Chains A and B, each alone.
Chain A
Amino acid sequence: MRSQAILDSNPWAPPPQTEKRIPGNKGIWVGITCEFIEFAVLFIVYFVARAHFPDAFQQGADRLSRVSGTIITLLMVTSSFFIACSVTTMRAGRRQASIYWLIAGLLVALGYPVAKYLEIQWNLAHGINGESGIFFTVYYYLTFNHLVHATWGILGILWVLARLLFRGYSSEDYAGLEALACYWHATDIIWLVIFPLFYVLA
């Protein structure tokens, strides 16, 4: 009884559990489901290629820059964390704090394309391109595809930030902000699969 009262008075907690709560809005979940299906197909291609050429995949990971893969992973999880904080603060009615968290999330997220650019330069300097073997072909199309999805996410962050600055959201209505957050977290989950497949399993 008392714990329920505490939960009811906690402005930071998600809205009361209803049977069919949709984080964000329905549209974003159609998009996220399509994104998951697309990457599921790409992962199947990865595993079929890995089953056919196990040696190429074991040796390939050793030639990639693990530092780059680790930095991108840390950037993704940190920006995800900041954007989750932005949703939580908006839910509690702290609009200014929500803006700061979202700006922090955006700045960290922007590090991803920068790190990817530097990684590609490093790859090319070490003679790694899309024709360096089956492992690198799969690596390039999967990671580039993820970069494209992350770029959409960054554009989404910019749009939501603009709306937030012009008071487009409130503690009662922040579905757009939460939808963007869900998309970014989903893109984060996909990277958390990509990272070990290419940079860890040598």
Chain B
Amino acid sequence: MNTKNDHFPQLTAAWLVLVILTLVSLGLSEWFRAAAWLPLLVAAIIWFKGALVARCFIESHVAHPFIARVLKTFIVLAPLALIATAFYGATLARWATL
């Protein structure tokens, strides 16, 4: 078995998915700008792209548990905040008012 190219298809596939999702995001902003579920989908894409970079490029699945946790936490932070702002924006603004 030729093992020399085993890792490149995975990296290339990850890069292609990142490019496609970037272009899809642009389309979403044009076609579904008024849709109430758009922030939900955008949040899912942010999380997926971040997780893809962490797993395929940083190889977080074989990293020290602390590193894996730092990556997981940061990647999930913005999507959760985006969903909270989109659906509970007024409540969040009230809590964050000085």
Contact with A along B33-65 (1 / 0, CB 8 A): 100001100100110011001101111001111
Across the interface, B15 reaches (CB within 8 A) one of A9, A81, A181, A186, namely: A81
Known: A195-B22, A200-B25. A47 touches B82 (CB 8 A): yes
A20 surroundings in chain B (CB, below 8 A)? 64-65
Are A200 and B3 within 8 A (Cβ)? no
Specify the chain A residue showing the minimal Cβ separation from B43.
A196
Are B81 and A77 within 8 A (Cβ)? no
A184 smallest CB distance to B (angstroms): 9
- For chain A, residues 114 to 156, give those with C-beta under 8 angstroms from any C-beta of chain B: none
- For chain B, residues 1 to 32, give those with C-beta under 8 angstroms from any C-beta of chain A: 1, 3-8, 11-12, 14-15, 18-19, 22-23, 25-26, 28-29
Are B63 and A10 within 8 A (Cβ)? no
A32 to B70, CA, bound (A): 9
By size class, the interface of chain B is 35 or more
By size class, the interface of chain A is 35 or more
Are B74 and A200 within 8 A (Cβ)? no
Minimum-distance CB pairs A-B, first 5: A12-B7, A81-B15, A51-B93, A51-B92, A77-B18
5 further A-B contacts with Cβ under 8 Å, apart from A81-B11, A199-B29, are A6-B3, A29-B70, A44-B81, A77-B19, A196-B25
B interface list, Cβ under 8 A from A: 1, 3-8, 11-12, 14-15, 18-19, 22-23, 25-26, 28-29, 33, 38-39, 42, 45-46, 49-50, 53-54, 56-59, 62-65, 67, 70-71, 74-75, 77-78, 81-82, 84-85, 89-90, 92-93, 96-97
